[in-house]
Amino acid sequence: SDSSRIIDGKAFAEKLRAKIAEQVAFLKEKHGFTPGLAVVLVGEDPASKVYVRNKGEQTKAAGMASFEYKLPDTTSQAEMLALIDKLNKDPNVNGILCQLPVPKQIDPQAIINAIDPDKDVDGFHVVNAGKLATGGEGLVPCTPYGCLLLLKDRLGDLAGKHAVVIGRSNIVGKPMAQLLLNESCTVTIAHSKTKDLPDEVRRADIVVAAVGRPEMVKGDWIKEGATVIDVGINRIEVNGKGKLVGDVEYATALPRAAGITPVPGGVGPMTIGLLLRNTLVAACRQRGVKLPD
């Protein structure tokens, strides 16, 4: 049936957050500390404001401390670096996240690499990217990490599966490909210069679409029985009304796929869940405490 094909990221993320709340409560009771996440927002980007508000609310709902910094869009890179330095030194702040994009006078890579890698809960620091690539205990980017959990929940062992990742950004496509490689998938990374994308997708047991183009991946590209993870969040207008769609043409892909994430309600809710998990993991490492079961 169609409903058994739908991969419910919202329900999975709710369970994940409930478990994190229990782990946080245990840490408070047995070890006397509360994990803390600092989120820094520069400027007035409306989508970023919504993300930051949701992150703050869910951090508090999980019983963690939320530190929110809202800076004007005239903030200089030096001011931003000074704030990060302060947060790096604050023992109550276990995770630091700078909401992207930042205004043009600030170099996002300089900001990311100024964060203590042990507090880099977005997993974008060059040290964490390097650990993901070479095999070390780092922090893994939240969105691809969420995609991986959904795939493993659905498919179990991923070894030997042919995965096609569409998109090669540092925040989604590249770390996704790395995670799938670490699971012993055979990985193809497609991008804007790929010659025949439909043909690449037709060979895939697992398709992860992270492009940012509404419904670009057509249903008839999907191999029968493939699992499809749609990372795209695209706002389009239908009959004058705003609507969110993914990078995959959901209606035509659903009957062919063994499993597919909807948009909204698929990958999106997982991202904050993994952000909370990364904060919990970072806090335990910084305090030298075992991660509660």
Interface region with ligand NDP, contact rule CB under 6 A, candidates 11-19, 69-77, 125-133, 206-214 = 206-214
Q: At its nearest, how many Å lie between ligand NDP and the CB of residue 112?
A: 14
Interface region with ligand NDP, contact rule CB under 6 A, candidates 110-118, 157-165, 227-235, 279-287 = 227-235
DSSP string, 130-144: HHHHHT-S----HHH
Q: From 68, 71, 70, 49, select the one nearest 60 (Cα to Cα).
A: 68
Q: Which two tokens stand for residue 130?
A: 């390097």
Give the residue, chosen from 36, 103, 138, 167, that forms a contact with ligand NDP under the rule CB under 6 A.
167
Asked if 195 touches ligand NDP (CB under 6 A), the answer is no
Residue 111 marked as a ligand binder: no
Q: Which two tokens stand for residue 293?
A: 């079961």
Per the annotation, the verdict on 120 as an active-site residue is: no
Amino acid code (one letter) for 198? P
Asked if 171 touches ligand NDP (CB under 6 A), the answer is yes
Asked if 48 touches ligand NDP (CB under 6 A), the answer is no
Q: Work out whether the CA dihedral 20, 153, 3, 246 comes out positive or negative.
A: positive
Compute the CA torsion angle 126, 127, 132, 137 (nearest 10 deg).
-160
Interface region with ligand NDP, contact rule CB under 6 A, candidates 28-36, 84-92, 103-111, 169-177 = 169-177
Q: At its nearest, how many Å lie between ligand NDP and the CB of residue 174?
A: 9
Asked if 210 touches ligand NDP (CB under 6 A), the answer is yes
Residue 6 marked as a ligand binder: no
Measured CA distances, 4 to 210, 221, 228, 255 (Å): 23, 21, 14, 11
The residue from 23, 55, 118, 174 that is catalytic is 55
Residue 168 marked as a ligand binder: yes
End-to-end CA, the chain: 35
Decide if 141 contacts 97 (C-beta within 8 A): no
Per the annotation, the verdict on 55 as an active-site residue is: yes
Instruction: List residues near ligand NDP by CB under 6 A.
Output: 143, 166-169, 171-173, 190-194, 197, 210-213, 231-234, 267-268, 271
The set of catalytic residues is 55, 99, 122
List residues forming the annotated binding site for NADP(+). Answer: 167-169, 233
